[in-house]
């Protein structure tokens, strides 16, 4: 499995914007409820804390962290650490120090990661991958690609994902 770059809001300033402003722009209200997502999370032991998110980030540097982690063989750990930091702790993902701390929680060398994030290393590579995803028709997350053949967009039931996997490897299914 690989995590590939796709920014939900690539046009946000690198410092991000206030979450309330973002929600107002996107949904017409600064008080968008994510109660249904929080309830679904609780059923699987995830304590989403959307009220702790105060900055809607531009995620270019978070994606650079993921690329760096991939090079170190720690991409899954970095993804878990990023999701936990943002959705449970409300971490400011636009802050290089915060991203370096998140990487350290994923088993990366904090100092080396901070140095990497402090310059433009791989920025263009990540932006190009994001643009490619868009040109391939990806419009949101999550998006799953199986065996480079079958794509599934959005949160899906396990049965839907299994059927896509079977289709991707050419096995018969109930599609």
Q: What does the pLDDT look like over 17-57, one tens digit per residue?
A: 999 999 999 999 998 889 999 999 999 999 999 999 999 99
Spacing of C-alpha 37 from chain mean position: 16
Model-wide pTM > 0.75: yes
Q: What does the pLDDT look like over 62-82, one tens digit per residue?
A: 999 999 999 999 999 999 999
Scanning the chain, the segments in alpha helix (DSSP H) are 19-27, 35-43, 60-71, 75-87, 96-105, 110-118, 123-135, 158-168
C-beta of residue 40 within 8 angstroms of C-beta of residue 116: no
Domain with CATH 3.40.30.10 in the chain: 17-137
pLDDT band at 1 (very low <50, low <70, confident <90, very high): confident
pLDDT band at 134 (very low <50, low <70, confident <90, very high): very high
pLDDT band at 174 (very low <50, low <70, confident <90, very high): low
Architecture of domain 17-137: 3-Layer(aba) Sandwich (3.40)
Q: What does the pLDDT look like over 89-103, one tens digit per residue?
A: 999 999 999 999 999
């Amino acid at each position: 499995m690989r995590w590939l770059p796709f920014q939900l809001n690539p046009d946000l300033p690198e410092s991000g914007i206030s979450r309330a402003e973002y929600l107002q722009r996107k949904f017409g209200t600064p008080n968008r409820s994510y109660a249904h997502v929080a309830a679904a999370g609780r059923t699987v032991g995830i304590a989403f804390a959307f009220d702790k998110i105060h900055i809607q980030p531009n995620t270019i540097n978070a994606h650079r962290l993921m690329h760096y982690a991939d090079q170190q063989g720690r991409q899954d750990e970095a993804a878990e650490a990023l999701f936990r930091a943002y959705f449970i702790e409300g971490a400011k993902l636009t802050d290089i120090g915060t991203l370096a701390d998140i990487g350290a929680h994923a088993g990366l060398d904090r100092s080396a990661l901070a140095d990497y994030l402090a310059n433009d290393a791989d920025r263009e590579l990540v932006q190009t991958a994001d643009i490619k995803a868009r040109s391939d028709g990806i419009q949101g997350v999550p998006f799953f690609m199986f065996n480079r053949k079958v794509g599934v967009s959005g949160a899906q039931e396990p049965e839907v994902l299994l059927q896509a996997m079977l289709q991707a490897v050419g096995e018969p299914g109930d599609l």
